[in-house]
Structure 1
Amino acid sequence: MLNRRKLKLGVLILSVLAIVALAGCSGDKTEKTQDGKQVIRVGYFPNLTHAQALAGFGDGTFQKAMGSEVTIQEHIFNAGPTEIEALLAGEIDLGYIGPVPAINGFVKSKGGLRIISGAADAGAVLIARKGAGIEKVKDLDGKRVAVPQLGNTQDISLRNLLSQANLKDASKGGTVTVIPAENPDILTLISKGEVDAALVPEPWGSRIVKETGARVVLDAKEVWRDGKYSTAVVIASSKFLKEHPDLVEKWLKAHVEITERIGKDPKASQVVINSQIKKLTGKSLPPDVLNNAFRRIAVTYNPEIESVNEFVRISVENKYLKETPDISNLFDLSLINKILAEKKLTELR
């Protein structure tokens, strides 16, 4: 009987060890290719607010910075929550994303991600369809307004505008009907007259104006804080940041390099960015749309911490967050500040 029990115990131990070994192998496969190269998986949108990602993938800057021993995998998203889900599920390591989804992801995961750099300020416009009779925010009273997604950066910006104009969402007893729709669908809704206005990121604002005859009610700098608000940031999985700070630092060096390049030669950068947009979407932007959209975006590595704190406040006021969260560890700017110090640039605070 004793020998039989020992045998069963031995089989159980071997089974557990086998499962652990398989789990370890599975984990390795997500980070290494068959030829042993390190993999870094990066998410971003085909939006101009993710200009550094578009430029860096388009001209090979990121691959050059990471080196031949690293394989970069691109993951394209159209909505912030979807990208956050992928990052928290371990499917991507880094991402370009709006600050509001980043906040929500940090709270939901209890610290599973960090904002490690800014990417873009402003870059969103409030537009109204032709004939809607909307000249100012107050005129949204009784109207239908589209946003890319409830709870995203543009939606929170809209809620702030409505509050300032003493208006409220119809679902909360107000008179403004807020309609979530993907950006291409918003263009269709505007053209068919099924919504009256929209708050959208570029290049969609410029596209909708050009293709439907819509007008700009509030330009990018008029939406909020004179344009000094974050529209896109760079996030990293807390696990990946802890395990691979060297790779994250290389990425951020390239990010800063691209940011400076875009600032110094926006025209040349626009060519690369537009080429990458065509690769991802099958269609490049017309020159006038690209120019109008680009002038509304401030490409930066500053995450505009004060604006992110304001996004938290507005999210709580609109019940997207149950209570004010502790976001003291949301930002990890140690690596970006190290890079800025080396380049003798002003560090972020």
Structure 2
Amino acid sequence: MKKFLFSALLLLLGLVLTACGSGESSGNTDAAESSGDEITIGYFPNINHVAGMVAEEKDLYSETLPDGTQVNYQYFPDGSAFMTAIETGEIEGGLVGPGPAMNHYTSGAEVNIVASGSTGGTVIMARNDANIESPEDLAGKTFISPRVGCTHDVQFETMMKEEYGLTSDRVKGEMKHVTGEPATYHSMFTTGNVDVATVPEPWASVIEEKGSGEVLVDTSDVAYGETLPAAVFVTSQRLADEDPELIQNLVDAHKKATEFIQENPEESKTIAIDKIKDITDQELSASAIDNAWERINFTYEIDGEVLQNFADSSYDLEFLDEAPDLTGLVDTSFIENESN
């Protein structure tokens, strides 16, 4: 069974707009550059990253890459670690939340989003007995998100500021903010350590099933809830420029994985349950996965305008020091080409 291989990259967790998710590093991590016969793909063990799990389980990258190519996989604990691995050539591509991709791009990283992985899947959960009937009750309450300024954090804080006029203590607001891994939210609700959680699936459905909390705001009503990519497929601009055939092969495999999920949801759910257990040692029930699946749309289509609007919200919330310009971040040419 694969185990967590947390690296020094975790020291970068303080970056704003880091990803929301939990995971582990695994596989061969020595592939510093694309060699033509070895590539490494990264993703998180979250439901929004099922395309990565399916591609691994079904060995789909081997179908699109040249014969003999060795395909490795690496599981990441956060988006900052993932993006650094992209920039250093430790991995050639993979799935990450849109937040870290945008943050690193606006900081000067030469990266491209070449496809989406999924949309939706963010849920705002309230702890039982926290005396919360609506988001208006959150003044003075403690909320948790995976990282400061991560995708789910920005969605939640955008909604709270725009619709209820409430902000976090990060900007001297009324809500206290803490961070933690989504897989721990059920236990934190049970102990009363937090009142509200902005949760990526499947962990919202786990909380529902175990009865420690209930839905306060469902996916469709969270800011950018059904339109914002919850996961995007990222690679480096250098690779896209120097070896566009490689990137096309990677995107073709990702498209195959996404289409498999669309056409075989039940088998895809089983793959997700098994892979999450393998990576995190946590076994999720079929009912929790079923519930989570209803909140997610698996697609490789990407809308750059939505990402720009989301980035503008991040700037409005003071997660970014300068107004972001994402021109050039999204490259749809590879998903527009016919698959092999």
Whether 2:322 is the aligned partner of 1:320: answer no
Aligned-pair CA distance for 1:153: 0.2
- The answer for the alignment partner of 1:59 in structure 2 is 58
Q: Which amino acid aligns with 2:196?
A: A
Partners of 2:81 and 2:134 lie apart in 1 by: 33
- What does the per-residue CA deviation read over 1:162-217, in whole Å, with 9 as the maximum and x for residues that have no partner? 11210011232211011111123333222210100100101111112223421011
Partners of 1:158 and 1:226 lie apart in 2 by: 10
Larger-Rg structure = 1
CA contact (8 A) 2:48 2:121 kept: yes
- What does the per-residue CA deviation read over 1:193-244, in whole Å, with 9 as the maximum and x for residues that have no partner? 0100100101111112223421011111121345122111100011222222
Give the secondary-structure state (helix, strand or coil) at the position aligned to 1:199: strand
Q: Which amino acid aligns with 2:150?
A: N
CA contact (8 A) 1:87 1:237 kept: yes
Aligned-pair CA distance for 1:111: 4.2
Q: Which amino acid aligns with 2:118?
A: A
Partners of 1:63 and 1:188 lie apart in 2 by: 40
Q: Which amino acid aligns with 1:217?
A: L
Partners of 2:260 and 2:73 lie apart in 1 by: 22
Aligned-pair CA distance for 1:44: 0.4
- What does the per-residue CA deviation read over 1:278-311, in whole Å, with 9 as the maximum and x for residues that have no partner? 2222333211111011111110112232321121
Q: Structure 1: which 5+ runs fail to align?
A: 1-27, 344-349
Whether 2:206 is the aligned partner of 1:207: answer yes
Partners of 2:31 and 2:258 lie apart in 1 by: 32
Whether 2:121 is the aligned partner of 1:119: answer no
Partners of 1:64 and 1:280 lie apart in 2 by: 24
TM-score, structure 2 as length reference: 0.86
Q: Which amino acid aligns with 2:56?
A: F
Identity of aligned residues (%): 28
Return closer, same or farther for 1:187/1:89 CA change in 2, 3 Å cut-off.
farther
Partners of 1:143 and 1:197 lie apart in 2 by: 8
Q: Which amino acid aligns with 1:96?
A: L
- The answer for the alignment partner of 2:157 in structure 1 is 159
Give the secondary-structure state (helix, strand or coil) at the position aligned to 2:32: helix
- The answer for the alignment partner of 1:42 in structure 2 is 41
- What does the per-residue CA deviation read over 1:24-61, in whole Å, with 9 as the maximum and x for residues that have no partner? xxxx973477xxx6221211000000010011111222
Return closer, same or farther for 1:233/1:242 CA change in 2, 3 Å cut-off.
same
Aligned length in residues: 310
Deviates more, 1:257-266 or 1:292-301: 257-266
Deviates more, 1:219-228 or 1:49-58: 219-228
- The answer for the alignment partner of 1:72 in structure 2 is 71
Give the secondary-structure state (helix, strand or coil) at the position aligned to 1:117: strand
Partners of 1:249 and 1:280 lie apart in 2 by: 28
Q: Which amino acid aligns with 1:264?
A: E
Q: CA RMSD in A?
A: 1.9
Greater share of residues in helix:
1
Return closer, same or farther for 1:320/1:29 CA change in 2, 3 Å cut-off.
closer
CA contact (8 A) 2:117 2:231 kept: yes
